[in-house]
Structure 1
Amino acid sequence: MNVIAVTGGTKLDGVVQIPGAKNGVLPLIAAATLATTGVTRLTNIPYLSDVIDLVNLLKSLNMQVALNNDEILISTERIGKTKTVSEHAGKIRGSLFLIGPLLARKKHVYIPYPGGCKIGERPIDYHIEGLEKMGATFISTSPYIKGYVNGRLKGATVNARQSVGTTLNLIMAAVLAEGKTVIHNAAKDPEIEDVIQFLTNMGAQIHYAEENIIEIEGVTELTAVEHRVPPDRMVAGTYLIAAAATRGSILVKGANEHHLKALLDIFKEIGVPLKNEANGIRVLAHDQPLTSVNLVTGAYPEFPTDLQPLITTLCLTTDGISKIEEKTFLKRFTHVPELQKMGADITIDGSTIYIQGGKPLYGTKVRAYDMRAGAALTLAGLIAKNKTKISNAGFIDRGYPHFVQTLRELNADIGYYYTQTPPVINASRIIGELIQRSESTKYRYFER
């Protein structure tokens, strides 16, 4: 088990460059498998274990993939298999994004139930329901999901129920389907907008009929393109909150004020000083007294559930009692008992928590049960007295590239201790790459 050790009492100060988005890169990699010709080049790839797992998953399907530093090259003119390997697919939620593309390209998929953080109920029923309306048939052979379609998927009217994953899967299935697909109640997160732009550049025909209705006219082929993964708004939000919680000053480069509007509105309400700059957002919270707040999580553009554990930690530093109602994942409070071990005064009432601010925290041993909870506990350690040790810190690696190193560069007294071999994403171990298209229109693939 991996452990983060942090000694509190220092104010974070400096500049941080936000990496590519975890919630953006995984569906982009899956969408790249829809290209029937060419080599996809994705840049600004974040250094994450989930990325490695998804790349290995594609390789297990005999796809040609090369990861080198912060870019990925993907050629899927030919897909050799449709049965994924449990070793990789069972680790990450992102494996779910392959269901739609594999049905669209190969008419068949055989995939384990996806893994990921345990943050509450995240059923895949909506995905299955929508794809069945497009002509797919699914058989549950636990722990696998088997799906197939006779011929091409058929355009249909489907309901995404504001689920991000469902919206993405249905979009990716529909772009190569026969006829027109209309997706009602589509989620509208920035990561979805980015995937739509990526697929449109590949030749897909996608447009918004209304705010939450997406119309897709299926095509027969898509061409690979180059695309840059956008900055991670959740990572940006985490560092903005960290600056506020420690009463520090950080310039968060790549932070998009429009994508983070819900968080920035809360900052203004509780009194966090902000400055919009040309390349990001700066927090200037030196010794600033902050007030309590009431907030409710919800679908974008409302306050994101992924930042709820982090804002909980910030509320511990404010005056008064804050109230947070969790409406996305009703039981996403695994961080609360761990914060209570540190002296936090937090009460859980169903899907709502009440946070008494202004009480000191004390370092102790705590445990992360998901990546955002782990980040929240790390922030709590930054403001606690003495040393805090966060076990199960490997969860944090799934969503935060170089998290400890970045915090150390921002003046944190923090270290990472491995009790198991860490995931390796290193150019020195990956020298394979897809060679430029030859005259025969085929690609050669090399890997050491």
Structure 2
Amino acid sequence: MEKYIINGGSRLTGELSISGAKNAVLPILAATVIGGNKSTITNIPNLRDVQIMKEILLTLGCTVEYDGSTMIVDSKPLNQIVVPEELVREMRSSIILMGAMLSRTGEVILSYPGGCEIGPRPIDLHLKAIRDMGAEIEESHGHLHCKVTRLKGAEIQLDYPSVGATENIILAGVKAEGTTIIRNAAREPEIIDLQNYLNKAGAKVSGAGTSVIVIEGVDEFRDVNHSIISDRIVAGTIMTAAAITGGDIIINNIVIDHVLSIIAKLREAGVIIYTNGNSMKVMGPRKINSIEMLQTLPYPGFPTDMQAQMMTLLTVASGTSIISETVFENRFKHAEELARMGANIKTFGKVAVIKGVKELTGAKTTAKDLRGGAALVLAGLIARGTTEVYDIYHIERGYENLHLILQKLGADITKVN
């Protein structure tokens, strides 16, 4: 079983560029099946989830060339409607293939998706919207069988600005008959990236980044080249690593607007951050300040995917901090692992109270999910002694060679089997 071994105490310094965003590349790869066209996608991160999506595309009959950070997908030969259960169960994002496949073939069979265990992430919003667009969906024995002659445009009011549901409706709407309007749509940057890819291919999507998205159905798609936006959560994780180690790091290839909420909270904690174009300089303070209240919210609020990393920072802050997790129910699993390292954290449902301690100490820990695993790595960077992080396959779902990135910045971290 692979694990990270970290000897704490090193101050991180140096410069790096941020790779493509996991949460942008997966829906775009799903979208490649729609048009029967050739898509050349660049700035792709080398992640487990990307490999799983590649396997799904191959299983569906697409031809895929994958070299370095470029993937070329030709979906013209697509000839299957069953998405393999073992692949779907490994990756929650696979649910967005529902909208994409209905656009292409009018039929798809897939199982309920898997991924990190961070509480229920119901797909009811997806199913209701797709049904509103005319599809019949049979649910039995953990599988979904979706069929439609042709999807029809609809006005859809989301009860919650779900990223996945917003993406699924866009993918279903691009070839639907008529116009689809999504109200209370998610506003994340990754949805803007999906819109940009689709429009290059000939779709007519507008409004991404706002709460109302309009999709006019089209019949034809063309070949397309597209570069994935940089990963704001990887950037936020490295920013926090600089902060917690008292480091000095320059981060390039980052869209500053995408990380403004992270910058604001880190500055509140005393971190010094300078921005310039698509770069920033992050310097950790001598003393980390506590944060009175950090609440996760849909974009442009503070991202739930950065909550665990911020919790690690606050374990060594002066004073008491409160975190309110409003997006996912079961997202404090890292708290008990941090407590093994000496952190003083009390959780009450969706609220965590963190009382800063003078230092953390190394321990054997287990990553329970993707971002919680990253939080344990950050803790290991400053803990006295040696920290071992097990089940790092969770971490590798969202970070490309995190140990190598941190090594280059001066961390004493190794990956072993």
TM-score by length of 1: 0.91
**Cα separation, 2, equivalents of 1:53 and 1:289:** 39
Q: CA deviation at 1:289?
A: 4.3
Q: State the one-letter code of the partner of 1:13.
A: T
Contact 2:54 2:64 in 1 (8 A): yes
Aligned to 2:358: 359
> Where in structure 2 are the equivalents of 1:394-433 lying within 5 Å?
394-418=393-417
Cα–Cα, structure 1 residues 358 and 210, in superposed 2: closer, same or farther, change >3 Å? closer
> Where in structure 2 are the equivalents of 1:202-281 lying within 5 Å?
202-208=201-207, 211-281=210-280
Could you give the per-residue CA deviations for residues 25-56 of structure 1, whole angstroms, max 9, x where no partner exists? 0001011111233x100001101011011100
Could you give the per-residue CA deviations for residues 241-279 of structure 1, whole angstroms, max 9, x where no partner exists? 010011111111122221111111112222110111344
2:127 is aligned with 1:155? no
**Cα separation, 2, equivalents of 1:257 and 1:271:** 19
Q: State the one-letter code of the partner of 1:118.
A: E
**Cα separation, 1, equivalents of 2:110 and 2:241:** 38
Aligned to 1:323: 322
Name the SS of the counterpart of 1:355 in structure 2.
strand
Q: CA deviation at 1:316?
A: 1.3
Contact 2:191 2:209 in 1 (8 A): no
Cα–Cα, structure 1 residues 70 and 215, in superposed 2: closer, same or farther, change >3 Å? same
**Cα separation, 2, equivalents of 1:210 and 1:404:** 33
Using the aligned pairs only, state the percent identity: 38
Aligned to 1:424: none
Name the SS of the counterpart of 1:259 in structure 2.
helix
Aligned to 1:177: 176
Contact 2:271 2:285 in 1 (8 A): no
Q: CA deviation at 1:143?
A: 2.6
Which segments of structure 1 move beyond 4 Å, counting only runs of 4 or more?
none
Contact 1:251 1:283 in 2 (8 A): yes
- Mark the runs of 5 or more structure 1 residues left unpaired by the alignment: 419-448
Q: CA deviation at 1:209?
A: 9.7
**Cα separation, 2, equivalents of 1:391 and 1:235:** 20
Name the SS of the counterpart of 1:258 in structure 2.
helix
Contact 2:192 2:209 in 1 (8 A): no
Q: State the one-letter code of the partner of 1:332.
A: R
Contact 2:322 2:351 in 1 (8 A): yes
Q: CA deviation at 1:157?
A: 1.0
TM-score by length of 2: 0.97
Aligned to 1:309: 308
Aligned to 2:8: 8
- The count of residues paired between Structure 1 and Structure 2 equals 416
Contact 1:32 1:224 in 2 (8 A): no
- Mark the runs of 5 or more structure 2 residues left unpaired by the alignment: none
Aligned to 1:84: 83
Contact 2:186 2:209 in 1 (8 A): no
Aligned to 2:30: 30
Aligned to 1:341: 340
Could you give the per-residue CA deviations for residues 219-251 of structure 1, whole angstroms, max 9, x where no partner exists? 112112000011000000000001001111111
Contact 1:65 1:73 in 2 (8 A): yes
**Cα separation, 2, equivalents of 1:288 and 1:357:** 11
- CA-based RMSD of the aligned residues comes to 1.3
Q: CA deviation at 1:345?
A: 0.2
Contact 1:345 1:359 in 2 (8 A): no
Aligned to 1:445: none
**Cα separation, 1, equivalents of 2:393 and 2:53:** 17
Aligned to 1:426: none
Q: CA deviation at 1:405?
A: 0.7
Q: State the one-letter code of the partner of 1:189.
A: E
**Cα separation, 2, equivalents of 1:301 and 1:286:** 26
Bigger mean CA offset, 270-279 vs 180-189? 270-279
**Cα separation, 2, equivalents of 1:129 and 1:154:** 14
**Cα separation, 1, equivalents of 2:62 and 2:256:** 37
